[in-house]
Structure 1
Amino acid sequence: MTKHIGSCLCGDVKFEVKGEFDSFFLCHCKHCQKDTGTAHAANLFSQSATLTWLSGADKVTSFTLAGTRHTKCFCKTCGSALPNSAISGLLVVPAGSLDTDVLNRPTAHLFAASKASWDNNLERLPSFKKLPE
């Protein structure tokens, strides 16, 4: 059984996910753009994996956008995105919240019609191993 460990930016919240991910979607919808502040959300989905809060469960809160199924769980201290199971039978794990390597490759782009206007041909940009001086 696969096991992943994750945490928030400040380290107050730590969690474990046991089981397999069914899919890995890059979602370009306007809701995901707003709640990540970037071009898309990168979320892993599982119908069978289990989530255990190892520390900081009391620091986890959530927001659901009225009239939608769009829910974001996050750390009350630093605001980092965290796993959620707001949709019954489905665990959604932000890929960037995991501290262990994710071997899954993204399955698909979702809501590609809503892609940010600047999210094109990004592989052509220069690439730096760290912040350039």
Structure 2
Amino acid sequence: MTQAAFRGSCLCGAVHYEISGEPQRFYHCHCSRCRKATGTGHASNLLIKPGSIKWIKGEALVHSYKIPEAKRFTSRFCSVCGSQVPRYVKETDMIVIPAGSLDSDPVIKPEGRIFWDSRADWSCGGDGIPVHSEYVPQN
């Protein structure tokens, strides 16, 4: 993987950010929380090391919702349009970037589908990307 700089924004354009650094992972997550948060069959997220994000515009408009019983799940979103935006996950020490919020294609391709066993029957798949029952162990 190579060092990259790419930008993202929310649907209404009130929030803009820039990412610099090397994306570490790219997964489609099929857990029920990601399905509820996105309204789709899975969330597509890149993972990158902390310190890689710069808020260009609208950081004060970013709000969070943390499910009290969830160990790792927090949703961060634009308070104007509701679009998901990057979030820091303390437990993994990574920034999660919703791939759909990027303004251009990411520099890496999805490498797996996680929480496959809890996916909705109608959700997409069958594309040859490896599937995993839970989180993929990090080396």
TM-score normalised according to structure 2 size: 0.82
How do 1:3-14 residues align onto structure 2 when only pairs under 5 Å count?
3-14=5-16
How do 1:7-86 residues align onto structure 2 when only pairs under 5 Å count?
7-47=9-49, 50-68=52-70, 69-86=72-89
Deviation digits for residues 73-112 of structure 1 (CA, Å, limit 9, x no counterpart): 1000000000011325211000000102213111110000
Specify every segment of 5 or more residues in structure 2 that has no aligned partner in the other structure, as ranges: 128-139
2:96 to 87, 92, 96: 92
Distance 1:45 1:5 in 2: 15
- Higher mean Cα deviation, 21-30 or 43-52? 43-52
Distance 1:52 1:4 in 2: 11
1:116 to 120, 132, 136: 120
**Misfit runs of 4+, over 3 Å:** 120-123
Whether the 8 Å contact between 1:13 and 1:57 is mirrored in structure 2 is yes
Distance 1:77 1:49 in 2: 25
SS of the equivalent of 1:81 reads coil
Question: Where does residue 102 of structure 1 map in the other structure?
Answer: 106
Question: Where does residue 129 of structure 1 map in the other structure?
Answer: none
Q: Percent identity?
A: 39
Whether the 8 Å contact between 2:50 and 2:88 is mirrored in structure 1 is no
Whether the 8 Å contact between 2:42 and 2:123 is mirrored in structure 1 is no
Paired residue type of 1:12: A
TM-score normalised according to structure 1 size: 0.86
Specify every segment of 5 or more residues in structure 1 that has no aligned partner in the other structure, as ranges: 124-133
Distance 1:101 1:121 in 2: 20
Distance 2:17 2:42 in 1: 23
Paired residue type of 2:84: A
